[in-house]
């Protein structure tokens, strides 16, 4: 199975332009026969808590139909980040498109204290692809209960969708290496670039093997994708 994490530079609050940018990276993934691509936290809006209420939508937004069409025609799973709204509550979510299946939603359950004025805890998705892959959204990778649940549900691969500054990336590298080693998981991290809220995201989307060894990472300047083949263990880095 070929998995990849995307590294994007979101345009603040511009969902339509960010969709177009996502499509460029998805096209790269498709041309490399990737089966699953994961985008950073709130990738379609940028990490902008103060704008989230106005930008929030749901997984059935017709602007997202293109993702489902690509998923169906190319047998690729696509997870994009967006604030979602349910019964006046705003969640940090990943919308997951799977080939010829109903759209699924993963909403961040464990929020950082700074997020609580803007977002509500959501319902985490159980592991998918036969429970083999577990997802985490940013702060959740620091929550032991989240990791333990993913592992006990049968995860072999742990993918973190984040929006992190340089300092945040350094901490995440340490934490994700420890997670990979402790639970014998292959771990991937998808981070964004550029200005987000009151910090600058520094990319470095990365992959660790199940011994906690860092296999590869993108840089802190370029958009692109990082591909991992679970069978051959080969890694492909593509920047644009």
Looking at residue 153, which CATH number applies to its domain? 3.60.110.10
Calpha distance 24→140 (Å, rounded): 28
Q: What pLDDT, in 10s, does the model give residues 62-98?
A: 999 999 999 999 999 999 999 999 988 999 999 999 9
Nearest by Cα to 192 from 66, 45, 75:
45
Q: Domain residues for 134?
A: 2-239
Q: What pLDDT, in 10s, does the model give residues 49-70?
A: 999 999 999 999 999 999 999 9
Count of C-beta atoms within a 10 Å radius of residue 88: 8
Alpha-carbon distance values, 154 to 42, 56, 158, 183, 184 (Å): 26, 32, 11, 11, 11
Alpha-carbon distance values, 85 to 21, 67, 210 (Å): 23, 20, 36
Look up residue 208 and give its two tokens: 């660790």
How many domains are contained in the chain? 1
């Amino acid at each position: 199975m070929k998995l990849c994490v995307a590294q994007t530079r979101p345009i603040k609050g511009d969902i339509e332009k960010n969709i177009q940018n996502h499509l460029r990276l998805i096209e790269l993934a498709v041309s490399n026969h990737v089966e699953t691509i994961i985008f950073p936290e709130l990738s379609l809006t940028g990490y902008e808590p103060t704008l989230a209420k106005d930008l929030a939508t749901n997984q059935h937004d017709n602007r997202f139909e293109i993702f489902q069409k690509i998923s169906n025609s190319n047998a690729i799973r696509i997870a994009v980040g967006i604030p979602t709204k349910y019964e006046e509550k705003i969640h940090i979510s990943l919308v997951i498109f799977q080939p010829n299946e109903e759209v699924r939603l993963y909403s961040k359950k464990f929020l950082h204290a700074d997020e609580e004025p803007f977002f509500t805890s959501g319902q985490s998705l159980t592991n998918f692809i036969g429970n083999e892959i577990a997802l985490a959204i940013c702060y959740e990778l620091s929550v032991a209960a989240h990791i333990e649940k993913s592992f006990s549900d049968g995860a072999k691969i742990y993918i973190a969708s984040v929006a992190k500054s340089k300092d945040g990336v350094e901490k995440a590298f340490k934490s994700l290496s420890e997670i990979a080693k402790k639970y014998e998981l292959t771990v991937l991290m998808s981070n964004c670039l550029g200005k987000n809220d009151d910090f600058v995201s520094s990319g470095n989307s990365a992959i660790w093997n199940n011994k906690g060894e860092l296999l590869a990472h993108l840089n802190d300047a370029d958009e692109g994708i990082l591909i991992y083949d679970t069978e051959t263990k080969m890694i492909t880095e593509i920047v644009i």
